[in-house]
Copies of this chain bind each other. A is one copy, B any other.
Amino acid sequence: MRTSIATVCLSGGLVQKMYAAAEAGFDGIEIFEPDLVAAPQSPEEIRALADRLGLSLDLYQPFRDAEGVDEEAFADVLHRAEAKFRLMRRLGIDLMLVCSNVGTATLDDDEVSAGQLRRLGELAAAYDIRLAYEALAWGRFVDDYRRSWRIVELADHPNVGVCLDSFHILSRGHDPKQIEEIPAEKIFFLQLADAPALSMDVLSWSRHHRLFPGEGSFDLPAFLAHVQRAGYAGPLSLEVFNDTFRQTDPVRTARQAQRSLRWLADRTADLLGDEAGPLPRLPEVAAPEAFDFVEIKAPETSGVEVLLEQLGFDFGGRHRSKQVRLWTWGEVRIVCNDQGGSPAAPRIAAVGFDVADSEPAAERAAALMAPPVHRRTYAGEQALRAFSSPDGTEVFCSHAEDWIGEFDGGVAGTSTERGSARIDHVNLVQPWHSFDEAVLFYTSVLSLTPQPTQEVAGPSGLVRSQVMSSPAGGVRLPLNLLPTGQLAGDEQAHAQHVALACQDIVGVVAAARERGLRPLKVPGNYYDDLVARFRLSEDFVATLRELDLLYDRDADGEYLHCYTETVGEVFFELVERRERYDGFGAGNAPVRLVSQAG
């Protein structure tokens, strides 16, 4: 199948949008009328440019308020439509989107609407143009795809068919199953959009908050499966109105859009048991169930190494050919990289995900247009394949056994006195414009699953947190969206962290304090409140207070945790999960944020 994208999804002028779509590998575009009206190029120039870029012009949209009107108003509709048909001929477009009437409909009568669509179809036929009739979720009378199909059936004209849009169908909670009853040749066009679960009026939801497939809450693989079963063979096209995409680089947005379609097509093929799939299949890769390593980078990382020593890490050796040192504790591997001048202060530069076989994982990432990262390797060294995630953090699909031999001079094995440890989660702070893209990236490239989002109040704004996790919970990756205002400057607000799960946090922290660790100070009021909230023993709360440990409890178990100070833009968390506690102590986050702000 072919891929297409509506120009309204992308920022910039029409020509810029066309270049972006072509560059991201789209086969065609839908021309959103206001984009054409505002463009200085003539329709003929746009047509010639599309031709040179290899883009087909798949749809002209939208034509509004066409049916369900009285005869006088319909005369105006025909006048408007004919001007558009002439324009479409200049563009070389033969399909027009006709939305169900929102503004001018006065007649709630399928026969009237069908008759008017038929007459519009007759006029269109004279120009060799076809009409795809779509039920808008907020249409005055027609707001359900089953009704728009009934009207198209009644219109009974070869140039009149339906357009199906996942947003308009799923946002209303309409069952997409009956799509399968529509004859394939009458489904003229398909528009795809995802959206977050929001309870707001459907028009605002539609205009501001649509997302690309894989970024929201709609079950689009199931939706597309119904359309496929109906036999639809036209393009898979995206129509997404979103306040963020309107502001971001159209080339980057177009790649994100193409990635979403490739992922969606692959998931749909899985559902249908379709080996070929509507688009080329992706290499199948199981989600990683452990972190392989975290790399922290700066011209000078010794502050981080002091923290690691205090926490009880063992020195794992120097890299054979690079200014890079390894620190280990149980299954935790932290790499400190002093090469190069950027970033200026310590920051998480890369995260390694432990995948059994890195080759198909890398191929999958490449097929999903994840930008590859090139790192110099020397003879005898493992060339690890890595990709740049939307916030710039490098993502490795790796396996320690393949690269750990490149480090010399460290402690062999790891001391066991402190018990084992593993990376519990890695928290990455996302700028506002790459948050949704990051959700899609980790969903599609690493097969992680987004959990419900949470919001946490900090002293300088609300922080939205989206955890991405592997099926068995071995990998947890909370993505924190910064408050809009904090675009730069505030290092603490941008700080990321690595959480280390240990088995006896009280013992670990007591020993670390002996080695000089000063955990983030927790206010006394917090412990007074803890006593009021949970009926804890006085001794236990005294221990928590003494060690600056935070506490949470839910029906699944308990969570004890504490934080180190921040070095550059990185800090560490120590956590002990008791029983099946699966959260992150979100209720304690405001206390942490205030303490960190000082």
Interface residues of A (CB under 8 A from B): 11-13, 33-34, 36-43, 79-80, 83-84, 87, 198-201, 204, 208, 243-244, 246-248, 432-433, 457-462, 483-487, 521, 523-526, 528-529, 531-533, 535, 590-591, 593-595, 597
The contact of A525 among B37, B243, B483, by CB within 8 Å, is: B37
CA distance A63 to B248 in the complex (A): 43
User: Quick one: given A200-B201, A432-B485, A457-B34, are A40 and B595 in contact (CB under 8 Å)?
Assistant: yes
The contact of A38 among B13, B244, B523, B532, by CB within 8 Å, is: B523
Closest chain-B Cβ to A57's Cβ sits at a distance in Å of 15
Closest chain-B Cβ to A480's Cβ sits at a distance in Å of 15
Contact B39 A523 (CB under 8 A): yes
Contact A521 B40 (CB under 8 A): yes
Contact B200 A247 (CB under 8 A): no
4 A-B pairs closest in CB distance: A83-B532, A200-B200, A38-B594, A199-B201
Query: Which B residues are in CB contact (< 8 Å) with A486?
Result: 247
CA distance A201 to B13 in the complex (A): 35
User: Quick one: given A38-B591, A594-B39, are A87 and B528 in contact (CB under 8 Å)?
Assistant: yes
19 A-B residue pairs with Cβ-Cβ distance under 8 Å, sorted by A, are A12-B460, A12-B597, A13-B594, A37-B525, A37-B526, A37-B590, A38-B523, A38-B525, A40-B523, A40-B595, A42-B524, A42-B525, A83-B532, A198-B200, A243-B461, A243-B462, A246-B457, A246-B462, A247-B485
Residue of B nearest to A521 (CB): B40
Closest chain-B Cβ to A230's Cβ sits at a distance in Å of 33
The contact of A246 among B247, B460, B524, by CB within 8 Å, is: B460
CA distance A433 to B461 in the complex (A): 12
Copies assembled: 2
Residue of B nearest to A81 (CB): B532
Residue of B nearest to A432 (CB): B484
CA distance A201 to B248 in the complex (A): 29
CA distance A79 to B532 in the complex (A): 7
Contact A529 B461 (CB under 8 A): no
Contact B457 A591 (CB under 8 A): no
Query: Which B residues are in CB contact (< 8 Å) with A43?
Result: 525
CA distance A538 to B462 in the complex (A): 55
Closest chain-B Cβ to A122's Cβ sits at a distance in Å of 19
Residue of B nearest to A527 (CB): B37
* Interface-centre pick from A486, A535, A594 (highest chain B CB count, 10 A): A594
The contact of A460 among B34, B37, B247, by CB within 8 Å, is: B247
Query: Which B residues are in CB contact (< 8 Å) with A529?
Result: 33, 37
The contact of A200 among B37, B80, B199, B532, by CB within 8 Å, is: B199
Contact A247 B461 (CB under 8 A): yes
CA distance A208 to B594 in the complex (A): 20
Contact A460 B11 (CB under 8 A): yes
Residue of B nearest to A82 (CB): B532
User: Quick one: given A11-B461, A34-B590, A38-B591, are A485 and B248 in contact (CB under 8 Å)?
Assistant: yes
Contact B532 A246 (CB under 8 A): no
Contact A37 B591 (CB under 8 A): yes
Closest chain-B Cβ to A450's Cβ sits at a distance in Å of 19
Residue of B nearest to A199 (CB): B201
User: Quick one: given A11-B459, A13-B459, are A535 and B79 in contact (CB under 8 Å)?
Assistant: yes
Closest chain-B Cβ to A482's Cβ sits at a distance in Å of 10
Closest chain-B Cβ to A68's Cβ sits at a distance in Å of 20
CA distance A203 to B160 in the complex (A): 44
CA distance A531 to B11 in the complex (A): 27
The contact of A461 among B40, B198, B246, B591, by CB within 8 Å, is: B246
CA distance A484 to B246 in the complex (A): 11
Closest chain-B Cβ to A537's Cβ sits at a distance in Å of 15
Closest chain-B Cβ to A106's Cβ sits at a distance in Å of 17
